Amino acid sequence: MKADTRILSIIVPCYNEEKSVPLFYAETVKQETFFHDKNVEFEFIFVDDGSKDDTVGAVKSLREKDDRVHLVSFSRNFGKEAAIIAGLEKASGDFTVLMDADLQDPPAILPEMYQYIEEGYDSVATRRVDRKGEPPIRSFFARRFYGLMRKISKTEIVDGARDYRLMTRQVTDAILAMKEYNRFSKGIFGWVGFSTKWIEYENIQRVAGETKWSFWKLFLYSLDGIMAFSTAPLSIASVFGMLFCLVAFVFMIFIFVRALIYGDPVAGWPSMMCIISLIGGVQLLCLGIMGQYMSKMYMEVKDRPKYLVKEEF
């Protein structure tokens, strides 16, 4: 290794990716010739997120041939966000790149991404321009989610943005400095800022295995995203409250005046029930919203480790 050799850490979160890992490695090393000329060395960091298959074994057999391969293996499945942070913490590189193990993040564009870094960008991000091969209902809700986020959050969250990102050490350290427990990377990348170059490509099907994101998991993840990067739901709850106070006040005056003029025969039970149940519903909704933020706070306050390591090298 020459003295001024720089390191590019390739961070790969893996959950049940036994089949993808060797394919990913084989594809990625193909890009090395370009980087050799630039005097940049690869470092692979596979993060095994509590896989139930032999992902660890697959990484170990790569290590036997190549000692630049590293592993962080979790004690159980902590989720992709935890895997990302574990990888970033372990990375020693001057540059870091996050990539999925399933080759949906094409290694072939790594040289292009690196060239933008050389041009002076701090990070190079990627987004899919289409959602080919994805269930239509998922695409529909994904679009709604990004539309909503644009309206209610100050942090820019780009539609179709992938986690595939090449970053300088400075950006990596900025991300590591964000200590929150409830992590939503797409928001975190936007929040830290720095100059970012966006590259677009078409959706690619995964090479092996299957997606780990059910519709329900994605839905919960989107709620996490909203709560991590927006307090708009809380404001909406207050607006609801004020609105109902106003309506109640006007109603009170109306009833009072009517009672003065026409007396007060007991009537209107059905309308009363409607109003009571409506207000009750809104109150529960608002309490629920507050409860959601409180539960996030509860997790932050507990300050538990974001992941537990069983094995690493």
**Binding site residues, ligand UDP, CB under 6 A:** 13-15, 17, 49, 77, 79-80, 83, 100-102, 104, 206, 211-213
Q: Which of 90, 206, 212, 296 binds Mg ion (CB under 5 A)?
A: 206
Q: Least separation, in Å, of the C-beta of 90 and Mg ion?
A: 22
Q: By CB under 5 A, tell whether 105 contacts Mg ion.
A: no
Q: Least separation, in Å, of the C-beta of 49 and ligand UDP?
A: 4
Q: Number of residues in contact with Mg ion, rule: CB under 5 A?
A: 4
**Segment near Mg ion (CB under 5 A); pick from 21-29, 37-45, 52-60, 103-111:** 103-111
> Which of 210, 158, 176, 180 is closest to 98 using CA atoms?
176
Q: By CB under 5 A, tell whether 212 contacts Mg ion.
A: no
- Given the structure tokens 């942090």, which residue do they identify? 155
- Given the structure tokens 């170990």, which residue do they identify? 60
Identity of the residue, 127 or 206, whose beta carbon is nearer to Mg ion in the bound complex: 206
Distance CA 8, CA 31 (A): 12
> Which of 220, 149, 231 is closest to 187 using CA atoms?
149
Identity of the residue, 203 or 292, whose beta carbon is nearer to Mg ion in the bound complex: 203
Q: Least separation, in Å, of the C-beta of 38 and ligand UDP?
A: 26
Q: By CB under 5 A, tell whether 102 contacts Mg ion.
A: yes
Task: Residue 213: name its binding partner from ligand UDP, Mg ion, none (Cβ under 5 to 8 Å by kind).
Answer: ligand UDP
Which sign does the torsion angle of CA 105, 107, 108, 112 carry? positive
Q: Least separation, in Å, of the C-beta of 65 and ligand UDP?
A: 21
- Given the structure tokens 């790969």, which residue do they identify? 12
Q: Least separation, in Å, of the C-beta of 41 and ligand UDP?
A: 23
Identity of the residue, 221 or 293, whose beta carbon is nearer to ligand UDP in the bound complex: 221
Distance CA 296, CA 278 (A): 27
Identity of the residue, 162 or 197, whose beta carbon is nearer to Mg ion in the bound complex: 162
Task: Residue 105: name its binding partner from ligand UDP, Mg ion, none (Cβ under 5 to 8 Å by kind).
Answer: none
Task: Residue 122: name its binding partner from Mg ion, ligand UDP, none (Cβ under 5 to 8 Å by kind).
Answer: none
Q: Least separation, in Å, of the C-beta of 209 and Mg ion?
A: 9
Identity of the residue, 46 or 229, whose beta carbon is nearer to ligand UDP in the bound complex: 46
Q: Least separation, in Å, of the C-beta of 83 and ligand UDP?
A: 4
Do residues 48 and 73 lie in contact, with contact meaning Cβ atoms separated by under 8 Å?
A: yes
**Segment near Mg ion (CB under 5 A); pick from 38-46, 95-103, 239-247, 286-294:** 95-103
Q: Least separation, in Å, of the C-beta of 163 and ligand UDP?
A: 8
Q: By CB under 5 A, tell whether 104 contacts Mg ion.
A: yes
Do residues 295 and 227 lie in contact, with contact meaning Cβ atoms separated by under 8 Å?
A: no
Q: By CB under 5 A, tell whether 131 contacts Mg ion.
A: no
Where do contacts with Mg ion occur on this chain (CB under 5 A)?
A: 100, 102, 104, 206
